[in-house]
Structure formats: C-alpha cells, structure tokens
Structure 1
Amino acid sequence: MRVSTRFSDSVHILAFIEIYQDQRLSSELIANSIETSPVVVRRLMSTLRESGLIATKKGTAEPKLSKSPHEITLLDVYLATERAKQLFTLDTNTNPDCIVGGNIQKVLGSYYEDAKMAALRKFNNVSLQDIIETILVEQKAKEHNVQ
C-alpha cells in the first residue's frame, strides 16, 4: 500500500509559493520541484484554495498565500489535505477468539489515538514560517558545505 504524500506535497507547495513569491509560479515549475505532475500540483492547489490557504487567479501563474506564513500551521495544512483520514489504521480482521486477536484493536486503538493527538498538537505548534526558515537554514548550510 502506497502512503499518501498529499500533506508533505502541500507543505512543499506553500513554502515554494512564499519563497519564490516574486516569480511566475506555474504548476509546471512547482511540479518540477516536487518531482510530480502539474496535474497533481493543480489538484493540491485547488484543495489549498478551497481551504482558504492560498488565493489563485484563473489563467495566471500567481498563487499567493491567503495568510501570513506565521498564521498557517501544519495542522491547517494537514486538515485541509487529509481531512478525517486516520494517521494509523488498525487491522479489523483478527480472530476474536484469540487473546491477542480479541483485544489488539482496543489496546492499539488507545495508543494510536494518543499518538495521533500528540502529532496533531505538534502540527498545531509549527507554522509554515518555521518550515520556511528551516529550509533556508538547510540551504545555507549546503552552500557552505556544512552537513
């Protein structure tokens, strides 16, 4: 089963829009950075627009963030792109007559919910600006051959 990259690709798009805001930002250019197709980028941008995170004008390559990068959290992006999708999935086809199979869903479900809440709290405390600043620091380190 392939894991979705919608969330990380959406964060990528938002950071790209902010960092390259003074350039013409076609879906082809953004897709080149993500190494995906322009169709995928347009679909994700549509979702981001519907969620109020970006503004676009039909027929132009000028997407803009709808809010300051300080105001956009990873939780905003996650909820926009993944909606109610579970972070973890339980196998519900286990043997209820087995000690493990009969109890694993309840036990793991509790731990999964704790982990999900921890992740969502963390996402809520990280802004797009934090991501952008870290990207720029990483790039500067690369330019100075510091790993």
Structure 2
Amino acid sequence: MKYSTKVSDAVHILAFIQLNSTGSLSSDSIAKSMHTNPGCVRQLMSALRKAGLLSSIKGHPWPSLAKEPSSTTLLDVYKAVEGDKPLLHLDTHTNPECGVGVHIQLSLQDYFDQIQKTAEEEMRHITLQDILDRYQEKISGK
C-alpha cells in the first residue's frame, strides 16, 4: 500500500528555501536534499506557487516564500499539494453482496470525516515557523 508524502516533501521544500536563501535553490539542489528527482520537486513547487505559498519565475533558480513562515500553516501546505484528498481512505473494493463489506465502510465514513475535521483544525494552528523552530531545536540537540 503506497501512501503520499507530498505534504512532508512540500514542507521540506519550503524549509529548504527559507534556510538556504543564499545557496543554490534549483530543483536539482532541492531534489538532492530530498533524495528524489527534480521533476517531483518542480511539480510540488508548481502546486505551492499556485496556492500562493511560493514565488518563483520559471527558468530562474531563486524561489522564495510568498508569505512569512508564521503566516503559512500546515493546512495551507496540505491543501496546496493534496487538494481535497482525505487523510484516510475507505476500501471501496469490498463485496457488495456482503453486509459487513458494505456497512462497515459506511460506519467508518462518519469516523473518518471526524478525524479529517480534527486533523485539519490542528494543521490550521501549526505554522511553517513552528516547524522551522522545531527544526532548530532538533539540530541544536534540545
């Protein structure tokens, strides 16, 4: 089962740009930090740009944050790269003739919706600055 790391990767990109403003910010440089390919970085950067979280000019390797880190929330990043995709997914490939197969999914949907709402509310209160501050704590050994 594959799961998405888009939010984590998008935060990585934003943090890399904020923390390395004097170094190379090409998609190649960022991709090396993420152990991925530059195309993946460009796709995420495009989504961040469309969401108003990143400023860049195509063909120029000097992107910058479009807003202060304290004004960008984890929910902003999540919505930018995942859109309306939920965190949890139902298995829609159950046997339609099995009562459990049908009704357990319907029962779970209410809880999954509640979890989504709670998670989004939490993400609304976590800023990129909070994440950068935690990063600084981690590298300083606190």
- Same fold, judged at TM 0.5 (above): yes
Q: Which residue of 2 aligns with 1:66?
A: 66
In terms of fraction of residues, the more helix-rich structure is 2
Equivalence for 1:111: 111
One-letter identity of the residue aligned with 2:110: S
Q: Residues 103, 58 of structure 1: CA spacing in aligned structure 2 closer, same or farther, 3 A cutoff?
A: closer
| Deviations 1:100-131, CA, capped at 9 Å, x for gaps | 32421221111111111111111101000000
CA drift at 1:95? 4.1
Q: CA RMSD in A?
A: 1.5
C-alpha displacement at 1:92, in angstroms? 2.6
Aligned to 2:21: 21
Shift, 1:57, TM fit: 1.8
Number of paired residues? 142
% identical equivalent positions? 44
Separation of aligned partners in 1, 2:102 and 2:23:
57
8 Å Cα contact 1:96/1:103 also seen in 2: no
What TM-score do the two structures reach when normalised by structure 2?
Answer: 0.92
Amino acid at match of 1:80: A
TM-score scaled by length of structure 1: 0.89
Measured after TM superposition, the shift of residue 38 of structure 1 is 0.9
Cα deviation for residue 98 of structure 1 reads: 4.3
SS in 2 for 1:77: helix
**Structure 2: distance between partners of 1:68 and 1:120:** 21
Amino acid at match of 1:87: L
The residue type paired with residue 73 of structure 1 is T
Structure 1 residue 39: Cα displacement = 1.1
1:87 aligned partner: 87
The Cα shift of 1:99 comes to: 4.7
Q: Give, in angstroms, the shift of residue 85 of structure 1.
A: 1.0
For residues 1-147 of structure 1, what are the structure 2 equivalents within 5 Å? Answer: 1-95=1-95, 98-141=98-141
